[in-house]
Structure 1
Amino acid sequence: MQFKQLFIQAGAACLLAAMQFSSAQANPVASPVNLPGTAIIIGGALKYDNDAVWKRIVDAAGGPGARFAVFATAAANPERSAAQIINALNAQGARAEAIPVAPRLQGVELQANLNDPALLAKVAAAQGVFFSGGAQELIVDTLQPGGEPTEMLKAIWSVFKRGGVVAGTSAGAAIMSTTMFRDAQDALQVMKGDLRRGKEIDRGLGFVGPNLFIDQHFLKRGRIGRMLPLMQAEGYTLGLGVEENSAALLRGDELEVLGAKGVLLVDLSQASSTPKLAGFNIRNAQLSFLDRGDRHNFTSGLTTPSAAKLAGHAIDPAAAGFKPFFGNQPFFLDILGDTTILNAMSHLLDSPHAELLGVAFNGSSKSTDAQADLGFEFRLHKGEGSRGWFSGAMGGEDYTVLRLRLDVQPVLIKRPFYTPIGQAQSSAR
């Protein structure tokens, strides 16, 4: 058994080495992401017992004793939210303190606190800053009204620029890129054109730089549907969708995945569209799912799977003797459903098929949507470099999936979408 395990690991290491050579040759350009500090982007619904994330937040700021400024600016109940975050950080050895800057905080003068010298000094002296979840528009409207940074935001930036940590969950993750979703709960409506500045989208705070777009609650809420139109409209070539109870740790040009699940990396550098076609469309978007413990380098383009994945099963559909696990070719009726895009990607990679199809549409016949018959076909297909890993060591069926392609085109959905058999037989008489 020991010999067999060593043989499997050696084979995986050889495959990884081959990928390193290929990736480095294919990406001889400056990194699109190179941060001065550490950004820890949490996809929301972070459990307070998720030590894998909370400990890394504190460790990244210097370990036990690190001072954190906690901003519950987005929260509906700032006092409660700040207290919970402080308890979680302090349980890992931090010295966290709430900064009373929140529109919904009772009994404080918001504008006075934004310019209070003592609070500004406290934030500037911290090793880390943490933004709570809630409504991200409250963060940008408070700290960056009209697009102009307040003195408090400048103090936060000073922490980041000298190498400190800026972390945020849910709303606190949304503000990390230069453009963010302000209020766009319906991904399908974004695909249909609801993408107005000041409504669905707005300025973010930009901690991850101008080249990377961030979205959260990503797999749970099917937000690939809203990310693609925004990236296309705003000119982003890289997008990072972070799942719930999971985190992306970005330092320099390196990404590390933490927590319960993972992140979806979207690359539009080789994508195209047909402007004359009515409705959102895109061809050759590249999707990669990075699971917990995986790492990615934005300069080389190299993804390094976790030790658990390397000890598991390497999947290369182009390799001689490839033995896929799945044999069927499902059709996904709700590609924007809970985790459906990842399920489809994993299934396609570990199958003999070249492509899988799915659709996104409004299934309600009583919809008030003026474009109720408009839907979208999602075509996932394999391409050069499509490969990955599987592991059952973490208690589930966990995949890392690299470089699948995605085409999306608008389609018309006939209504009713189906007819009960009895009704159809009666109509035929």
Structure 2
Amino acid sequence: MALNENRGQLVIVGGAEQKEGECKVLREFVRRAGGIKSRIGIMTAATGLPREVGEDYTRIFERLGAEEVRVIDTEYREDASKPEYLEFMENATGVFFTGGDQARIISTIKDTDLDRAIHKRYAEGIVVGGTSAGAAMMPDIMIIEGDSETHPRVDVVAMGPGMAFLPGIVVDQHFSQRGRLGRLLSALAQQPAVLGFGIDEDTAVVIQGDEFQVVGSGVVTVVDLSEIVHINVDELLKDEALAICGAKLHILPDGYRFNLKTRKPVVEQMAQQAA
């Protein structure tokens, strides 16, 4: 898969990112959004506590040096057409989706004026970030909900339309902490996507062009089904176990890079840096 290099960057966070002290993941988002000249919109659609969550991220981004921070509160779908929100988006350098319930993001923002404005600005080069639910909604087809700590089965996971910032890839978050490899595999087996990202807490995938870099204290698990030799999904009843043979698995900690076009880690570069 190749991304349009003229597009902006994505900062996809696995949730529970550090909010005090160094704040490595959020610091990276602010830096890429323009640093001390950044103008950041905080999207609180996913959370049931938009005021509290919005104030929390406003405090963090301002402490990290953002020039202007604005909470974009879309409690109701009609809020996504507010002129003041659309006007702010015209000059925003970064947009950050908070955690909560990813289905709320879809129901209140997808296919609205605000959605179109964010995608327009992303195509023009801004940074779009999101944590937890704000990470899950990044693909065109997202995980809505599913079981953790289980082997892959057809009925493990429910899928639905996402916000399509990252088409052709499935994203899962809180990955190692909640034992979600089984549900990521189940999601991939049922979708045309061949790559899945399992992102740990306090960890981010930062995508620019055809590559991503891992930032944070955990790891990113990349599952590649592009060269599988056998899968039994068409033979199963919904509660029966999946068989997947020939899948590739990559475990990437902080600083490691992955090429989305070749579907390979950039290990040569890391070896040179270590030498």
TM-score by length of 2: 0.89
Residue matched to 2:115: 153
Output the CA distance in 2 between the equivalents of 1:52 and 1:308.
23
Count, aligned residues: 266
What one-letter code is carried by the residue in structure 2 that aligns with 1:40? V
Residue matched to 1:126: 92
Is contact 1:33–1:212 with CA below 8 Å preserved after alignment?
A: no
Residue matched to 1:356: none
Is contact 1:293–1:306 with CA below 8 Å preserved after alignment?
A: no
Residue pairs, 1:206-225, within 5 angstroms: 206-209=164-167, 211-225=168-182
Is contact 1:259–1:292 with CA below 8 Å preserved after alignment?
A: yes
Residue matched to 1:303: 266
Residue pairs, 1:348-427, within 5 angstroms: none
Output the CA distance in 2 between the equivalents of 1:42 and 1:293.
15
Residue matched to 2:70: 97
Residue matched to 1:113: 79
Is contact 2:172–2:199 with CA below 8 Å preserved after alignment?
A: yes
Residue matched to 2:32: 60
Runs (5+) with no aligned partner, structure 1: 1-30, 103-109, 313-429
Is contact 1:115–1:151 with CA below 8 Å preserved after alignment?
A: yes
Residue matched to 1:106: none
Listed one character per residue, the Cα deviations across residues 366-409 of structure 1 (whole Å, up to 9, x for unaligned) are xxxxxxxxxxxxxxxxxxxxxxxxxxxxxxxxxxxxxxxxxxxx
SS in structure 2 of the partner of residue 188 of structure 1: coil
Residue pairs, 1:238-257, within 5 angstroms: 238-257=195-214
Q: Per-residue deviation at 1:295?
A: 1.2
Output the CA distance in 1 between the equivalents of 2:135 and 2:171.
7
Q: Per-residue deviation at 1:124?
A: 2.6
What one-letter code is carried by the residue in structure 2 that aligns with 1:179? I
Output the CA distance in 2 between the equivalents of 1:164 and 1:158.
9
Residue matched to 2:163: 205
| Percentage of identical aligned residues | 31
Output the CA distance in 2 between the equivalents of 1:311 and 1:125.
40
Output the CA distance in 2 between the equivalents of 1:229 and 1:32.
24
Runs (5+) with no aligned partner, structure 2: none
Output the CA distance in 1 between the equivalents of 2:82 and 2:64.
29
Q: Per-residue deviation at 1:114?
A: 1.6
Q: Per-residue deviation at 1:175?
A: 0.2
Residue matched to 2:153: 192
SS in structure 2 of the partner of residue 220 of structure 1: coil
Structure number with greater CO (CA < 8 Å, separation at least 6) is: 2
SS in structure 1 of the partner of residue 247 of structure 2: strand
Is contact 2:147–2:183 with CA below 8 Å preserved after alignment?
A: no
Is contact 2:138–2:164 with CA below 8 Å preserved after alignment?
A: yes
Is contact 1:37–1:161 with CA below 8 Å preserved after alignment?
A: yes
What one-letter code is carried by the residue in structure 2 that aligns with 1:219? S
1:187–1:34: structure 2 CA closer, same or farther, 3 Å change rule? farther
What one-letter code is carried by the residue in structure 1 that aligns with 2:74? V
Correspondence 1:43 to 2:25: no
TM-score by length of 1: 0.58
